[in-house]
Amino acid sequence: MIKLTSVHKEYPRSGPALRDVSLHVRKGELVFLTGHSGAGKSTILRLVQMADFPTAGEVRVSGFSSKTVRPRDIPQLRRKLGVVFQDFRLLRDRTAEDNVAFALEVTGAKRAGIAQRVNRLLGQVGLSHKAQAFPDELSGGERQRVAVARALANDPFVLLADEPTGNLDEWAARGVFDLFKEINAMGMTVLMATHDLDLVRAHPEYRVVELSQGEIVYDSASTLEGQRSRAE
């Protein structure tokens, strides 16, 4: 699955972003990654995508290791990860369905199946009726659903979400998170960075990992004491 072992990450001018982070996300889990702004949440998600690499320690994702991965393997890894962001990152000159189809086209999916698959994905996020709409014609919540549909297009084993509700009003946020819950209930692993504490508190059934200044200070799956003894 996803395993970070004693990960340090330092950016050239801004000092350490992660210090000795060890985190194991198991198959089928839904994990909240919380912490103040600048705590290192996005950095962890970037390391998991291998868009960046640790200064020390190792990141393992589904058989790929940050220590041994070759640049030309990375596209293969990315196809196994679905990613959504706070700012949606949809292409404004394409309709909802074209945005979803894009992820399939550019990974060389067979043309024949694409339209059907896109239909099904939009259905899954409850947007079949907005397939022809451009992003500018959609609400924030709807845009994020399109982004989720795109993230799921290549059948990833995990959904990574970086503040997916950060730009949404509470209603829309709740709707999008309900979608995550559904997807998780069907067996998908979800790793979601968020600083929406109300959302986290409202769902005590899910694992919470809290970062502060680049360190894991709380993990509901293990005790704080457990964290400390492991570090020793």
Partner 1 sequence: MMPYAFREALTAFRRTPLLTMLSVVAIGFSLFVVGLFGLTAYNIRRAIEKVEEKVEVVGYLTDDALPEQILVATQEIRGLPEVAAVRPVSKIEAMANARETMEEFRDVSTDLESNPFPASLEVSLKPGSRTPTAVARVAKHLKAYPFVEDVRYGRDWLDKIYLIRQILGGAASIIGGAFALVAAIVIATAVRIAVFARREEISIMRLVGATDGFIRKPFLLEGLITGFVGGILSAVLTYVAFRVLDSTMFRIEWIPGRWVLGVVAAGTAFGFLSSAAAVRRHLRAV
The reply to whether 190 sits near partner 1 by the rule CB under 8 A is no
The reply to whether 165 sits near Mg ion by the rule CB under 5 A is no
Identity of the residue, 98 or 215, whose beta carbon is nearer to ligand ADP in the bound complex? 215
In angstroms, give the least distance from the CB of 78 to Mg ion: 19
The reply to whether 189 sits near Mg ion by the rule CB under 5 A is no
In DSSP notation, 24-70 reads: EEPTT-EEEEEESTTSSHHHHHHHHTTSS--SEEEEEETTEETTT--
Q: Which does 11 bind (CB under 5 to 8 A by kind): Mg ion, partner 1, ligand ADP, none?
A: ligand ADP
Cα angle value 53/54/55 (rounded, 5°): 120
Q: Which of residues 128-187 bind partner 1 (CB under 8 A)?
A: 150, 153-154
The reply to whether 49 sits near partner 1 by the rule CB under 8 A is yes
In angstroms, give the least distance from the CB of 192 to ligand ADP: 12
In angstroms, give the least distance from the CB of 210 to ligand ADP: 11
Nearest to 151 by CA among 100, 94, 114: 100
Q: Which of residues 100-159 bind Mg ion (CB under 5 A)?
A: none
Contacting ligand ADP (CB under 6 A), which of 2, 17, 90, 151?
17
Q: Which of residues 19-58 bind ligand ADP (CB under 6 A)?
A: 35, 37-43
Q: Which does 40 bind (CB under 5 to 8 A by kind): partner 1, ligand ADP, Mg ion, none?
A: ligand ADP
C-alpha–C-alpha distance, residues 183 and 82, integer Å? 12
Angle between helical axes of 140-152 and 170-185 (0-180°, round to 10):
20
* Residue sitting closest to Mg ion (CB): 42
Do the beta carbons of residue 146 and residue 95 sit within 8 Å?
Answer: no
DSSP 3-state helix, strand, coil percentages of the chain (rounded to 5)? 40, 25, 35
The reply to whether 7 sits near ligand ADP by the rule CB under 6 A is no
Binding site for ligand ADP (CB under 6 A): 11, 14, 17, 35, 37-43
